[in-house]
Amino acid sequence: MKANSSDEESGDGDPQGVESSKQKNPPLWKRPLTWVMTVLLGALAAVLGGALQNLFTTAGNKAVNEFSKERPPFTVVSEDDSCPTVWTHFPDQLQKAVTGKTEEEALSILANHGEADGRATELTVTLQGRTQSAVVITGVRVVMSRPPQPPPSSVFGTGGCGAAVPTRSFSIDLDSKSPTAKPVPPDIPSDPSPTVVNFPYKISATEPEVFHFSIQTTARDCTWYLEIKWNSNGKVGTYRLDNGGKPFRTLALKDDNWPMVGLSKGPDGRVTGLSRPSH
């Protein structure tokens, strides 16, 4: 009995034994090494978690970007029929390009190398599906590539305008807060009472549509491009229509009397250079 009593006193009943045990084996939360390991593991988990999140985000963004680069299910042919073609400085750099050309060829060169369109950009766009599957064109909007600027004090321009035969005509006011395509009657109606129809339109390989956009400004210097919204077979997308990889530019003109860029011609009728306007 005494032995048993001695065991109890040395174990549960001896305070010194308890203190000695606590000093030898302190709780985990009081051990310095445990704190260090906890901090290190937490930091490692944060780094790995961030890396995995970035990996999934990058993969997701790549998938979205690749989808956005997918070829649209329709072809696009656009023609700028604007008048006049203008420059903010006399286009000396085109002297060599037009020399030796016919008048028609020289005018085409000037039109294709204009710095901007004066007052309005007249854009004819033909959309045609690549297959018989229907593609629905749900809308068109203007996106400004930079904030509009005040118009230049003076411009040089050409004369002569192209003639378009639009099927679907729209007017876009660049001076409004939210430029949108508004349907208007065609310039050359196909019947005495043409029907004005707004988006959406359906196209396919055998059902193309020809759109004419008159994008105008009377007060600003605007650089912009069009976004054509579409859906087909459960997919949706946006096609960017710009001026050969760069934005369109439309300048307001103060009046109708801009300095004209003319063509000098030789005895054979060939162009010998550009002529400056007389003052």
Side-chain half-sphere CA neighbours of 213 within 13 A? 25
Task: Report, in this order, helix, strand and coil percent for the chain, each rounded to 5.
Answer: 25, 35, 40
At 5, is the secondary structure helix, strand, or coil? Answer: helix
Quote the pLDDT of residue 98: 95
Task: Compare 207 and 158 and report the one with higher pLDDT.
Answer: 207
CA gap 186, 183 in Å, rounded: 9
pLDDT band for 249, please (50, 70, 90 cuts). very high
pLDDT band for 202, please (50, 70, 90 cuts). very high
pLDDT at 265 over 70: yes
pLDDT band for 211, please (50, 70, 90 cuts). very high
CA gap 93, 196 in Å, rounded: 44
For range 225-249, the mean pLDDT: 94
Q: Which residues contact 117 (CB under 8 A, 6 or more apart)?
A: 80, 82, 84, 85, 86, 248, 249, 250, 251
C-beta of residue 143 within 8 angstroms of C-beta of residue 227: yes
Quote the pLDDT of residue 2: 36
For the segment 155-189, what is each residue's pLDDT rounded down to a tens digit? Answer: 898 875 544 445 688 999 999 988 989 998 765 54
Q: Which residues contact 171 (CB under 8 A, 6 or more apart)?
A: 181, 182, 184, 213, 214, 216
> How many other CB atoms sit within 10 Å of the CB of residue 81?
18
Side-chain half-sphere CA neighbours of 64 within 13 A? 6
Locate 187 and state its tokens: 């310039």
pLDDT band for 153, please (50, 70, 90 cuts). confident
Quote the pLDDT of residue 4: 40
Average pLDDT of the residues of the chain? 78
Our CA dihedral for 21, 23, 24, 25, rounded to 10 degrees, sits at 80
What would you report as the CA-atom Rg of the chain, rounded to the nearest whole angstrom?
A: 36
Peptide bond before 247: cis, by omega within 30 degrees of 0?
no
pLDDT at 27 over 80: no
Q: Give which of 72, 52, 195, 184 is closest to 135, Cα–Cα.
A: 72
- Cβ burial of 264 (10 Å; 0-12, 13-18, 19+) is middle
Most confident of 22-26, 64-68, 154-158, 230-234: 230-234
Task: Compare 236 and 71 and report the one with higher pLDDT.
Answer: 236
Quote the pLDDT of residue 254: 78
For range 260-269, the mean pLDDT: 92
Quote the pLDDT of residue 83: 79
Quote the pLDDT of residue 185: 78
Distances (CA, A) of 9 to 6, 15, 18, 64: 5, 9, 11, 74
Looking at this protein, which amino acid is placed at residue 8? E
For the segment 42-77, what is each residue's pLDDT rounded down to a tens digit? Answer: 666 655 555 545 544 444 433 333 334 568 999 999
pLDDT band for 201, please (50, 70, 90 cuts). very high
CA gap 102, 112 in Å, rounded: 15
pLDDT at 34 over 90: no
HEC profile of 32-92: HHHHHHHHHHHHHHHHHHHHHHHHHHHHHHHHHHHHHCCCCCEEEEEEECCCCEEECCCCH
Quote the pLDDT of residue 279: 56
Quote the pLDDT of residue 25: 59
For the segment 100-150, what is each residue's pLDDT rounded down to a tens digit? Answer: 999 999 988 998 899 999 999 999 999 999 999 999 999 999 999 999 999
Task: Compare 38 and 230 and report the one with higher pLDDT.
Answer: 230
